[in-house]
Amino acid sequence: MLINVPETVVADALRGMAAAHPELAVDVENRVIVRRDAPVAGKVGLVSGGGSGHEPLHGGFVGPGMLSAACPGEVFTSPVPDQMVRAAAAVDSGAGVLFVVKNYTGDVLNFDMAAELAEDEDIRIAKVLVNDDVAVTDSLYTAGRRGTGATLFVEKIAGAAAEEGQPLEQVEAIARQVNENARSFGVALSACTTPAKGSPTFDLPAGELELGIGIHGEPGRERRAMMTSGEIADFAVHALLEDMSPRNPVLVLVNGMGGTPLLELYGFNAEVQRVLAERGVAVARTLVGNYVTSLDMAGASVTLCQIDEELLRLWDAPVKTPGLRWGM
């Protein structure tokens, strides 16, 4: 691994992020990343966070048109409430703060506690839980469905609404609408390796893959012998469309888990688009790349989000973050 020692991986990454992105205020000691112009007068603040190892989620999505602040925890470990309260205070302009929370038990408990503490400091808080993964209902780390790729859609679209000055109640409603209309399914071709462990986090024999993997390496639906890109796309898209029946066009995210090159991801996207066309699903926009990762895991996930004209307008709105930018 390209690291010093496991104990300083997150701090080292934050120092490097601060050097690369002076438009962000990166507090390495307290583990909070804030857009430097925060708080923005009259603007709802958006705060998210989670364990490190999923970059660019969440710190890479801080900036105009997306998150106001992010709280990185240790690798695959939830940030603590103090981080979240500090982030909320840094971005609150008096218009309130929306917490975007992936459905993992530690994240949910700590954000709930942070919301109570922030409200004690007279910061108005709303929360949205992202739970888009159709692979399994309950698993390691999670009660209910896991929060995965739809987090990007929620943060981008709600972030655009906040950037326009929409009130907290409306930004929250938009975030909930996006989550309710989004579904994800992931596939692992290899296990990931955490810095502390130094070896694969689970055993996936050569020539096999895990269908429905979680972003921490949690088990999915089943293991099979290696499949072609087209066969994986058939399986993943079928699993998504079993759980949703889109009447409107969809946003498509073909997301790499961290260890799969773009050459393969674009080829996989071609197969995903083929299956959607065969099923009569119209595609409005497509994003391909590594956005919600799992360290060095080889594999990919597919996220679909049914949208209307207003959500598409917000998706297309300008954004300028380290991990996502257009229109500026």
Q: Which residue numbers are catalytic?
A: 54, 216
Q: Which amino acid would we find at residue 27?
A: D
Given the structure tokens 């009569």, which residue do they identify? 280
**CA–CA distance, 100 with 168 (Å, rounded to integer):** 13
Q: Is residue 123 a contact partner of residue 282, using CB atoms and an 8 Å limit?
A: no
Q: Is residue 78 a contact partner of residue 10, using CB atoms and an 8 Å limit?
A: no
Given the structure tokens 């506690």, which residue do they identify? 113
Q: Is residue 252 a contact partner of residue 276, using CB atoms and an 8 Å limit?
A: yes
Peptide bond into 6 cis (omega under 30): no
Measured from the Cβ of residue 246, the count of other Cβ atoms closer than 10 Å reads 19
The pairing of beta strand 24-27 with beta strand 32-35: antiparallel
**CA–CA distance, 138 with 105 (Å, rounded to integer):** 11
Q: What are the residue ranges of helices labelled H in the chain?
A: 9-20, 81-91, 105-120, 150-163, 168-180, 229-243, 262-278, 309-316
Q: How many residues in the chain?
A: 328
50, 61, 55, 53: which is closest to 83 by C-alpha? Answer: 50
Q: Which amino acid would we find at residue 202?
A: F
**CA–CA distance, 26 with 169 (Å, rounded to integer):** 29
Q: Which structure tokens are listed for 3? A: 């690291």
